[in-house]
Amino acid sequence: MEINMLASETNQPGKKNANGSAPKWSPVKPPKKTKKAVVFFEVEILDAKTREKLCFLDKVEPNATIAEIKNLFTKSHPQWYAARQSLRLDPKGKSLKDEDILQNLPVGTTATFYFRDLGAQISWVTVFLTEYAGPLLIYLLFYFRVPFIYGPKYDFISSKHSVVHLACICHSFHYVKRLLETLFVHRFSHGTMPLRNIFKNCTYYWGFAAWMAYYINHPLYTPPMYGDRQVRLALIIFLFCQLGNFSIHIALRNLRPAGSKTRKIPFPTKNPFTWLFLLVSCPNYTYEVGSWLGFAIMTQCLPVALFTLVGFIQMTIWAKGKHRSYLKEFRDYPPLRSPIIPFLL
């Protein structure tokens, strides 16, 4: 007992040994922290159609994202850059998101992904600019009645009807607005889309623009049945819906910080045009259809009415898809909302 006490005293600072010398001070070393062993993953990528093994990745970090795995896959297959890759857990399943983390997926330490080639890709901005610049220029060619459209005696002769000039202003305003929104407002969740879509989309927009412009700017064009009253009412509808559409685009833009892919439930803001969010999931489509309905009433032109109908059908499909996505992703999503038309559709 005494020996233990003496030993403890000699280890205290300031104490001296029997010979008068200071004892050697040896600080207590903290216990070493044991490092957790990192469990690396093995990833094999198979062709979704043939089941052929395309790539095997060894020692993949467990916190690697699908985007990083795509980049690793590109190193062995440069012809398939990341934007044209679709990786899935099942050959016929949905594509995994780029931000999905490997260790959070329902896979073991040896993960199997199925690859599908999405084809050549092009940026959304390029597609939208091409889609919208075409109708703007095509309509103006008919409006100014350039040669080889209506006949030599009508070349570069403007229409005598004021509604024709107003229609050109409204049509041009719509597509200039779309071009500016593409450049400065929209934030795209996906950077690219298949290259083939640009031909399909341009055929739709450019073709309808030429068809509408041909009849509205035709020398034999007949003004609306109810004259200026019909035109003024249609102009009010058109401008109201254009402002509403722009307001919704701004509200949607403010939901997503620049460079992120976060999704939130859109709610009305102080802007009265956004109050339509109380009843509709995609009011931007509602306002878009309203704009073209106003343009159809203004011009009283059958091709415009058909363009409005086709656009309404397509936007209804998009709106229903987004509405289902909102309901699936957000449990507290407002139940009163409809996809595109309040209480109906």
Q: If phi over 0 gives left and psi between -120 and 50 gives alpha, with beta otherwise, what is residue 257?
A: beta
Q: Which residues of 93-125 are buried (b: 16+ CB within 10 A; e: fewer)?
A: eeebebeeebeeeeeeeebebbbbeeeebbebe
Nearest one of 69, 68, 64 to 44, comparing CA atoms = 69
Separation of alpha carbons 28 and 22, rounded Å: 18
pTM strictly above 0.85: no
Per-residue pLDDT in tens (0 to 9) along the chain, 345 residues: 444 444 444 455 555 555 555 555 556 666 666 556 678 889 999 999 999 999 999 888 889 999 999 999 999 899 999 999 999 999 988 889 888 899 889 988 889 999 999 989 999 999 999 999 999 999 999 999 999 999 899 999 999 999 999 999 999 999 999 999 999 998 887 778 888 889 999 999 999 999 999 999 999 999 999 999 999 999 999 999 999 999 999 999 998 876 666 788 999 999 999 999 999 999 999 999 999 999 999 999 999 999 999 999 999 999 999 999 999 999 999 999 999 999 999
Separation of alpha carbons 218 and 105, rounded Å: 60
Q: 3-state DSSP: the chain helix, strand, coil percent, rounded to 5?
A: 50, 10, 40
The alpha-carbon radius of gyration of the chain (Å, integer) is 33
Domains within the chain, CATH numbers bracketed: 41-118 (3.10.20.90), 120-222 (no CATH), 224-345 (no CATH)
